[in-house]
Amino acid sequence: MEECKPMLNTGLRGITIASTRISDVRGEEGKLIYRGFLVQDLAESATFEEVSYLLLFEKLPSDDELNAFNEQLVAARDIPPELIAALKTRPADSLPMDILQAATAMLANHDPDIRVSSRETSVKMAIRLIAKLATVLAAWDRVRNGKEPVAPDPGLSHAANFLYMMTGETPNDEQARFMDVCLVLHAEHSFNASTFAAREVASTRAHMYAAITAAIGSLSGELHGGANVRVMEMLLGIGTPDAVDDYVNKILDEGQKIMGLGHAVYKTDDPRAHILAPMSKKMGERTGQPQWYEMSKRLEKAGKAAFKERKGTDIYVNVDFYSASLYYVMGIPVDFFSPVFAISRVSGWTAHVLEEQFADAAPKPMLYRPESEYVGDYCGPDECTFVPLDNR
Ligand SMILES: CC(C)(COP(=O)(O)OP(=O)(O)OC[C@H]1O[C@@H](n2cnc3c(N)ncnc32)[C@H](O)[C@@H]1OP(=O)(O)O)[C@@H](O)C(=O)NCCC(=O)NCCS
């Protein structure tokens, strides 16, 4: 048989497959831009609701527009009783990302517009998903711990309400604002794996929920949304700041990776890490757990220095490095780190689905259909002869 050519293993790295007006990651400059605005500026001055509006509607809202958008989000926070009943049937040790993914598909069953395909109905679905996924996640934490879900509080912001529904206690202003900033920072990040998954499904003209379900599945992988969990597991494993240096040397000697360092696109520190680091420090001090930030800081310094010494090149912190210790001291369960990422990124994903299906600007998107290079049998000029089961 003729020798097959080796399979192309591009992983689509460096291949531009679509145009977008939603966000840009400028890796060399360490810039993340949502619809023209630097993420630092948004994190400092805008709320998650404002950023969601910006992503969905392509502009910052006026006061009236934001109020109307908030009202729509608040009105959409409830989840169907049937879904809560279904959550109660799930094993308590179910993976939270699986719960979120399954719940998203179930929410489609309750959406009155599910059979209508228009920009208007898809925007409504986007708003419903942004509102409801936070409720689902908070409800799941209650249910799996044998507690009743807490109904949303219409008087609270999206971030504050999420913490309230999870804990049953209204967060103070600082806790609410920190949660809000985390949601802003994770809301969008261009054509990463989960966004591409959402857009690929949307390109078939499947509905919003189908696309978001695919995105959640993609985000569940440890190479994507699961990295912050691995960072926290690493910190918990190291245990104390004094053990950091030995850990760094051991990991690099063994050729392993330090979690939270390195990025496929950024060639300098991830701008989001610079915002999260002081938040991790402050919240660690507030809650009497300063060791997680201290360990992270020491790990950043030692890891960068040891990497440079061994490889001769620099390595940088990514978004997961400080979000892990921050979420931990905010009381978010470690297995909720990726789902919390998802309830924020749903803003970006839904904006991408809208762009994929309803963008006016050229070039018009079309059904994704990449080619593959077949390297299995029957790659030569002769076909394989099929032998019936009885004769094999
Ligand atoms: C994110 C990541 C996949 C980026 O990968 P990349 O830019 O394609 O870099 P590569 O995986 O090709 O690594 C290049 C070199 O740096 C090393 N390296 C990369 N990240 C490293 C890390 N975090 N710790 C130690 N070494 C690392 C690799 O081992 C490789 O060394 P080699 O050339 O001797 O084989 C990678 O940095 C990583 O796995 N980081 C840890 C996990 C993580 O934090 N993920 C979250 C990303 S947001």
Considering only CA atoms, which of 30, 15, 131 is closest in space to residue 71? 131
Structural domain includes residue 215: yes
Find the domain containing 147 and state its range: 23-223+335-358
pLDDT band at 363, cuts 50/70/90?
low
- Beta bridge partners of residue 32, listed in sequence order: 25
Domain co-membership, 54 together with 142: yes
Considering only CA atoms, which of 345, 344, 56, 355 is closest in space to residue 202? 355
Higher-pLDDT residue of 64, 392 = 64
Residues with CB under 6 A from ligand 1: 227, 257-264, 307, 315, 318-320
CA 174 / ligand 1 centre spacing (Å): 34
On average, the pLDDT of the chain sits at 94
Domain co-membership, 85 together with 209: yes
CA 262 / ligand 1 centre spacing (Å): 5
Domain co-membership, 203 together with 269: no
Contact indicator for 187, 22 with CB cutoff of 8 Å: no
Domain co-membership, 134 together with 233: no
**pLDDT at residue 46 above 70?**
yes
DSSP H or E segment with residue 34: strand 31-34
pLDDT band at 216, cuts 50/70/90?
very high
Structural domain includes residue 2: no
Domain co-membership, 56 together with 138: yes
Would you state the pLDDT for residue 362?
59
Structural domain includes residue 32: yes
Domain co-membership, 110 together with 254: no
**pLDDT at residue 173 above 90?**
yes
Would you state the pLDDT for residue 384?
76
How is residue 24 written in tokens?
A: 């840009």
User: Which residues are identified as catalytic?
Assistant: 224, 263, 320
DSSP H or E segment with residue 33: strand 31-34
Contact indicator for 43, 185 with CB cutoff of 8 Å: yes
Domain co-membership, 199 together with 136: yes
**pLDDT at residue 2 above 50?**
no
Domain co-membership, 219 together with 340: yes
- Answer with the one of 292, 313, 329 that is the final residue of a domain: 329
**pLDDT at residue 379 above 60?**
no
- CA distances for 277 relative to 8, 237, 297, angstroms: 39, 20, 8
Which runs of E-coded beta strand occur in 35-98?
37-38
Domain co-membership, 288 together with 253: yes
Structural domain includes residue 10: no
CA 245 / ligand 1 centre spacing (Å): 19
Structural domain includes residue 7: no
- Beta bridge partners of residue 33, listed in sequence order: 24, 38
Dist. CA 61–CA 131, nearest whole Å: 18
Structural domain includes residue 14: no
- CA distances for 190 relative to 181, 218, 325, 373, angstroms: 18, 14, 25, 27
DSSP 298-340: HHHHHHHHHHHHHHSS---B-HHHHHHHHHHHTT--GGGHHHH
Domain co-membership, 231 together with 218: no
pTM: 0.94
Nearest-CA residue for atom 2 of ligand 1: 263
Number of domains in the chain: 2
Contact indicator for 191, 218 with CB cutoff of 8 Å: no
Q: At 281, which CATH number?
A: 1.10.230.10
Average pLDDT over residues 190-209: 96
Domain co-membership, 196 together with 233: no
Q: For ligand 1, what atom is nearest to the CA of residue 319?
A: 48
Give residue-wise pLDDT tens across range 20-34: 999 999 999 999 999
Give residue-wise pLDDT tens across range 110-131: 999 999 999 999 999 999 999 9
Would you state the pLDDT for residue 390?
95
Contact indicator for 65, 53 with CB cutoff of 8 Å: yes
Contacts of 260 by beta carbon, 8 Å cutoff, 6+ apart: 227, 228, 230, 231, 234, 296, 299, 317, 318, 320, 321, 322, 324
Structural domain includes residue 255: yes
Structural domain includes residue 262: yes
SS3 (DSSP) at 222: coil
Percent of the chain with pLDDT over 70: 95
Q: At 56, which CATH number?
A: 1.10.580.10
Considering only CA atoms, which of 74, 64, 44, 69 is closest in space to residue 54? 69
Distance of CA 86 to the CA centre of its chain: 24
Domain co-membership, 249 together with 171: no
